[in-house]
Amino acid sequence: MASGGPAVPRYTEAMLLASRIRHCRRCGTAIERRTPPDDNRERAVCPACGEIHYENPLNVVGTVPVWGEQVLLCRRAIEPRHGFWTLPAGFMELGESTAQGAARETDEEAGARIELQGLFTVLNVVRVGQVHLFYRARLLDTDFAPGSETLEARLFHEHEVPWDELAFRTVRQTLEHFFDDRRRGQFGIHCGDIA
């Protein structure tokens, strides 16, 4: 590997076999896996109509909502990780920006009203084909109305956070960065990879 940057992960055979695309979205024919002449990696290609189907990562967007010295966490009412704690987040929808999606997810999951304060973490979860983006947010009040995907929404001081009951590594890393930055008195943007 050349110095000066992180290694770029390659698609593995297992990742390709785990593909969600099985049939052409245009004509319904079973797809084949091959490298198109003008490409550099294997794709899902329809042998009948020639349509090339690209599979791209999904964006998960959310917030770190703060009230004074406390952060808002939601206890999940759905799988995966039912009953575990998370930051309000979910899949970005078409037709919205990452910031709009983060605000929407915070409203849907916690029923919380917020003011976004800026992008905080960008975490690549390559093994599941996702990128998680969390924004810092200031809570406008403490009247929460959790939606159907949340058992409860609650504020935690750092020493109260249920670290062993957090649903996802991206949530843990985001909270660790948040509390570290708060102690330093300066918030940055943190990027990383989750193995």
Provide the residue-wise pLDDT of the chain in tens; the chain has 195 residues. 233 333 334 444 344 344 678 999 999 999 999 999 999 989 999 999 999 998 889 999 999 999 999 999 999 999 999 999 999 999 999 999 999 999 999 999 999 999 999 999 999 999 899 999 999 999 999 999 999 999 999 999 999 999 999 999 999 999 999 999 999 999 999 999 998
The CATH code of domain 58-193 reads 3.90.79.10
Which of 2.20.70.10, 2.160.10.10, 3.40.920.10, 3.40.50.920 would CATH assign to domain 11-55? 2.20.70.10
Contact 118, 80 (CB under 8 A): no
The span from the CA of 1 to the CA of 65, in Å, is: 40
Question: Distance of CA 169 to CAs 175, 190, 195, Å?
Answer: 10, 14, 9
Ramachandran angles phi, psi of 98, nearest 5°: -65, -40
- Beta-strand ranges (E) seen in 57-146 are 58-67, 70-76, 85-86, 89-91, 114-125, 130-139
Domain boundaries, the chain: 11-55, 58-193
